[in-house]
């Protein structure tokens, strides 16, 4: 009996120890994987009234952009400074494609060794030769830091000069919080970007057909080199392209991943589905798996909740204003020829993204006029959040005048500072006076822009105008002088006649008769002499 009691007590103690151990283990597991503060960072698009609510994710910054309209469908902490790691190589590859012949040879220097120990590389050696094409695939698929340095030196002369090119290109694209200091993305305090900017850079790169081919390639075989007698096979590190991966998604068309301990995981992903083309950006999330999962969440949110209208319109019976769902410009149109209401010409296009349930006519349409240009800009927006652009032609009086319309990034606050005073809503065409003012300003701007573009022709034209005006004035002066002389002769003749009449009035009859006889005798004498 005592033995059974001891055995039961032992089993009970063991059970208690096991239970406490499991509880401690569970508590330890929970403590190791808490929800990060970044989970609660602001999702800017969720703040828009009526906007589909995007998913909450752990990434510190994220964005989904429509590649056609440029509209940000999802934006979380999108302009905050983050470190990009190897997604930097999207910009590196873009500059490579813009400045190099893919079939040109490259010979590497010892710059290939100037990378962090243990970082991603392909063992390129100084003096090794291959093609630029081999490098492009090695950089994008295998994330080769050594090749990135080699390309930077080949394109710009040095890594530092290439970083300057990267920053100039980023500024031209419209980036608002980006500074590059190297071509590979290894951590540096002055090498940073943001989700908004990476989406812009990715969009610019995706416009290049060669880039689309490279980023969507699963495997690439690099031929033998002068220092390596074996072929090398590069495999794409983006797991969402791999049909054998748990993260595979059929709509993924390419992308680039990155990781350093300082940057954590970063990911850029391109996707196409049902006519929509999106790019998703994930910055600073803990774990490659988490980056793929959250990319899937935000991009499927983009595919499932938005309409993208992206079409180029040829000649049509519709008016341009009807096509873009814009109010017809008021009473001014009544004073115009029928050409004003003519259908849109070839070259009209619309590219705009908005949530399902919205109508294009409900969106705001903002216009502006660029200084020194006939261009007019219009952008679709919702609560000042840019959603796309339109372009078309309208016909004032005689001859078509083309108006180009666009909207800046929601974060590029100073992009249109040069045109703010010229802002003009097309809805403000309420009378002929306003319309005439627009035509006058357009004509003046057109003249000034042409003078700036062709100063030599402008000087010659001005000289010709001065000559013509001078000749015209000379003719006017000569004509006026001739008229003045004629008038003077007439006045003198009239004065003499008046004086003669006054003399005759003072003469007697005998004096008049004597004068007449003298005049007749003089006339007779002249006849005899002839």
State residue 252 phi and psi, 5-degree precision.
Answer: -75, 130
DSSP string, 384-403: TEEEEEEEEEE--SSS-EEE
Q: Closest Cα to residue 84, out of 256, 242, 219, 245?
A: 256
Burial environment of residue 343 by CB neighbours within 10 A (0 to 12, 13 to 18, 19 or more): middle
* Residue of 69, 120, 143, 353 marked active site: 143
Cβ atoms within 10 A of the Cβ of 444, count?
Answer: 11
456: enclosing H helix or E strand: helix 455-506
Range list of β-strands (E), 274-408: 276-285, 306-313, 348-355, 364-369, 376-382, 385-394, 401-404
- Do 432 and 440 touch, CB atoms closer than 8 A? no
320: enclosing H helix or E strand: helix 320-323
Q: Closest Cα to residue 297, out of 501, 459, 485, 58?
A: 58
Which residues touch 194 (CB under 8 Å, ≥6 apart)? 61, 78, 79, 80, 81, 82, 176, 177, 178, 283
Residue 165 DSSP label? H
Encode 185-221: b = buried (16+ Cβ within 10 Å), e = exposed: bbbeeebbbbbbbbbbbbbbbbeeeebeebbbbeebe
* Residue of 86, 181, 381, 442 marked active site: 86
* Joined tokens for residue 362: 């409900």
* Residue of 76, 89, 239, 276 marked active site: 89
- Do 408 and 174 touch, CB atoms closer than 8 A? yes
Residue 89: active-site member: yes
Residue 86: active-site member: yes
Alpha helices for 180-241 (secondary structure H): 195-206, 209-215
Q: How many residues would you count in the chain?
A: 530
Range list of β-strands (E), 204-363: 219-222, 232-235, 252-260, 264-273, 276-285, 306-313, 348-355
* Joined tokens for residue 193: 């970007």
Q: Closest Cα to residue 256, out of 211, 300, 286?
A: 211
Active site residues: 86, 89, 143
């Amino acid at each position: 009996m005592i033995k059974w009691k001891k055995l039961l007590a032992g089993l009970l103690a063991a059970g208690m120890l096991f239970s406490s151990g499991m509880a401690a283990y569970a508590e330890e597991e929970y403590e190791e994987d808490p929800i990060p503060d970044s989970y609660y960072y602001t999702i800017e698009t969720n703040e828009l009234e009526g906007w589909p609510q995007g998913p909450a994710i752990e990434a510190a910054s994220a964005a989904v952009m429509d590649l056609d309209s440029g509209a940000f469908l999802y934006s979380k902490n999108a302009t905050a400074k983050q470190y990009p790691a190897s997604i930097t190589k999207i910009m590196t590859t873009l500059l490579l494609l813009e400045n190099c012949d893919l079939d040109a040879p490259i010979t590497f220097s010892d710059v290939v060794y100037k990378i962090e120990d243990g970082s991603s590389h392909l063992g390129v050696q100084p003096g090794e030769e291959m093609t630029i094409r081999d490098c492009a695939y090695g950089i994008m698929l295998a994330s080769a830091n050594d090749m990135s340095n080699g390309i930077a030196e080949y394109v710009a002369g040095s890594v530092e000069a290439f970083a300057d090119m990267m920053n100039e290109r980023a500024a031209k694209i419209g980036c608002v919080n980006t500074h590059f200091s190297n071509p590979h993305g290894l951590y540096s305090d002055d090498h940073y970007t943001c989700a908004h900017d990476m989406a812009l850079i990715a969009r610019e790169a995706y416009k290049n057909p060669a880039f689309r081919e490279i980023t969507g390639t699963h495997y690439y075989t690099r031929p033998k080199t002068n220092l390596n007698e074996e072929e090398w096979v590069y495999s794409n590190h983006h797991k969402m392209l791999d049909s054998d991966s748990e993260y595979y998604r059929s709509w993924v068309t390419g992308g680039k991943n990155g990781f350093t301990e300082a940057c954590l995981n970063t990911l850029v992903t391109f996707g196409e589905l049902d006519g929509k083309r999106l790019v998703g950006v994930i910055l600073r999330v803990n774990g490659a798996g988490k980056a793929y999962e959250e990319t899937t969440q935000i991009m499927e949110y983009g595919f499932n909740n938005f309409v993208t209208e992206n079409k180029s319109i040829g000649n049509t019976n519709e008016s341009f204003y009807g096509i873009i769902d814009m109010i017809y410009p008021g009473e001014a149109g009544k004073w115009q020829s029928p050409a004003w209401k003519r259908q849109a010409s070839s070259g009209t296009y619309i590219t705009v993204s908005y949530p399902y349930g919205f109508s294009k006519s409900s969106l705001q349409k903002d216009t502006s006029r660029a200084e020194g240009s006939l261009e007019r800009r219009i952008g679709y927006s919702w609560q000042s959040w840019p959603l796309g652009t339109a372009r078309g032609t309208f016909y004032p009086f005689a001859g078509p005048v083309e108006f180009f319309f666009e909207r800046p990034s929601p974060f590029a606050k100073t992009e249109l500072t040069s045109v703010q005073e010229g802002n003009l809503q097309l809805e403000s065409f309420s009378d002929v006076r306003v319309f005439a003012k627009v035509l006058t300003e357009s004509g003046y701007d057109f003249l000034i822009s042409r003078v700036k573009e062709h100063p030599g022709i402008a000087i010659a034209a001005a000289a010709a105008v001065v000559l013509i005006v001078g000749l015209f004035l000379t003719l006017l002066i000569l004509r006026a002088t001739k008229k003045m002389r004629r008038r003077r002769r007439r006045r003198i003749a009239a004065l003499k006649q008046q004086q003669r009449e006054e003399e005759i009035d003072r003469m007697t009859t005998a004096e008049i008769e004597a004068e007449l006889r003298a005049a007749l005798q003089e006339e007779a004498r002249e006849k005899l002499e002839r």
